Amino acid sequence: MNLVIVDYGSGNLRSVQRSFERAGFSSTITHDPTVVSEATHLVVPGVGAFSDCMGNLEKLGLLAPIREHIQEDKPYLGICLGLQILFTEGTEFGSKPGLGIFPGQVVRFPKNELKVPHMGWNQIQIKKELPILKDIPNEAYFYFVHSYYGAPKDPVVIATTTDYGLQFPSSVSEGRLFACQFHPEKSQDLGRQLLENFARL
């Protein structure tokens, strides 16, 4: 296995790598497109703005190897921004195209009595039985930090939902791609279980 974590200038890379290490798996952090293209398992984590993420990936020449990895149905794990960039379009700071893997937009939570960003522990409702969710119970708690979420046009890709004033897709999947809005690296034992499941795909 060649597990690669994509570095495009975002934070929390080492915490993702340390979580894999605690689960018993070594990984490489890189922004080298050649190394990314050789990955058997690819992780795209991230926090921050959609447009900055897409801009940095483009500048570093990482868009093509990420797309190819997904198109070849190799295991892909997107975390937070790594989920959002899979959609057709992000709406943060104006419209910005994403990778276009899933038709749909990345939209902000509506204004209501709930605080934005959505931050802290919240539950997931499992909509699909997937190998990456093995030994993770329905309504398990995971850690979230985000103001935007992906809204796919086709609900068949939704793997889990979470309630925060509305039911939003907290993860999506297709083939061996899985991407989550929550942060497994900040989600203690169940987060580590998810990362272990991914590494074993």
Task: Summarize pLDDT for 93-125 with one digit per residue, the tens.
Answer: 888 999 999 999 999 999 888 999 999 999 999
CB 59 within 8 A of CB 73: no
Selected catalytic residue, list 69, 118, 146, 183: 183
- pTM attached to this predicted model: 0.97
CATH number for the domain spanning 35: value is: 3.40.50.880
Mean pLDDT of 126-147: 98
Selected catalytic residue, list 53, 80, 118, 180: 80
**Amino acid occupying residue 46:** G
The number of domains in the chain is: 1
Residues in Cβ contact with 172 at an 8 Å cutoff, skipping those fewer than 6 apart? 83, 86, 102, 150, 152, 157, 158, 159, 178, 179
For 20-35, b/e burial (b = at least 16 CB within 10 A) is beebebebeebbbbee
Question: Is-catalytic flag, 53?
Answer: no
Range of the domain at 15: 3-199
Question: Is-catalytic flag, 185?
Answer: yes
* Mean pLDDT taken over the chain: 96
Question: Is-catalytic flag, 183?
Answer: yes
